Structure 1
Amino acid sequence: MAHIAFVGLGVMGWPMARHLTAAGHEVRVFNRTAEKAARFAAAYGATPCTTVAQAAEGVDALITCVGNDDDVRQVTEGADGGFTTLPDGALFIDHSTASAALAKALAARHPRLNCIDAPVSGGQAGAEAGQLAIMCGGDADAIEAARPILDCYGRRVVRIGPSGHGQLAKMSNQIAIAGLVQALAESLHFAKKAGLDTAALLDAIGQGAAQSWQMDNRARTMVEGRFDFGFAVDLMRKDLGLVLEEARSNGASLPVAALVDQFYADVQKMGGNRDDTSSLIRRLS
Structure 2
Amino acid sequence: MSANTVAVYGLGNMGYLVAERISQAFSLQVFDLSAEQLARAGAAFGATPISDPEQLAATRFVVLCLPYPAASLSVLAEIAPHLPKDAVVIETSTVNPADMQRSADVLAPHGLALIDASILAGVSQMAAGTASLLLGGDASAISAARPVLDAITEKQIVFGTLGAGAAAKVINNAVAHAVMVVVAEAGAMATASEVDVEQLIGLLSDTQMGLHRPLTYRYANRVVNGDYSGGMPLDAARKDSELALSLAQSQRIPLFAIQACHSVYELGAAAGYGREDYAAIAKLWADWGTPSAPGNPEFNRY
Fold shared per TM-score above 0.5: yes
What residue number does 1:75 align with? 75
1:43–1:201 Cα change, 3 Å: same
Aligned residues of 1:131 and 1:153 also touching (Cα < 8 A): no
What residue number does 2:194 align with? 195
Number of residues paired by the alignment?
211
Is 1:16 the counterpart of 2:5? The answer is no
Which protein shows a greater Rg? 2
Q: Deviations 1:216-264 (Å, cap 9, x if unpaired)?
A: xxxxxxxxxxxxxxxxxxxxxxxxxxxxxxxxxx9699xxxxxxxxxxx
Alignment-mate amino acid for residue 133 of structure 2: I
Q: 1:5 aligns with which of 4, 7, 29?
A: 7
When the two structures are superposed, what TM-score results if normalisation uses the length of structure 2?
A: 0.63
Aligned residues of 2:119 and 2:169 also touching (Cα < 8 A): yes
Q: 1:93 aligns with which of 85, 90, 93?
A: 90
Alignment-mate amino acid for residue 15 of structure 1: L
- Is the deviation greater in 129-138 or in 3-12? 129-138
Q: What are the ranges of 5 or more consecutive residues in structure 2 without an aligned counterpart?
A: 213-288, 293-302
1-structure distance, mates of 2:126, 2:85: 29
Is 1:125 the counterpart of 2:127? The answer is no
What residue number does 1:41 align with? 42
Q: Deviations 1:171-217 (Å, cap 9, x if unpaired)?
A: 222222122212221222222222233234324543433357xxxxx
Following superposition, the deviation at residue 56 of structure 1 comes to 2.7
Is 1:165 the counterpart of 2:164? The answer is yes
Following superposition, the deviation at residue 146 of structure 1 comes to 1.2
When the two structures are superposed, what TM-score results if normalisation uses the length of structure 1?
A: 0.67
1:12–1:177 Cα change, 3 Å: same
Please report the RMSD computed on the Cα atoms of aligned residues, expressed in angstroms. 2.4
Aligned residues of 1:5 and 1:55 also touching (Cα < 8 A): no
Q: What are the ranges of 5 or more consecutive residues in structure 1 without an aligned counterpart?
A: 213-249, 254-285
Following superposition, the deviation at residue 26 of structure 1 comes to 0.4
- Is the deviation greater in 176-185 or in 9-18? 176-185
What residue number does 1:104 align with? 101
3-state SS of 1:67 partner: coil
2-structure distance, mates of 1:204, 1:109: 50
What residue number does 1:62 align with? 62
3-state SS of 1:97 partner: coil
2-structure distance, mates of 1:175, 1:48: 35
Q: Deviations 1:118-160 (Å, cap 9, x if unpaired)?
A: 2211122222222222122211011112122112223432222
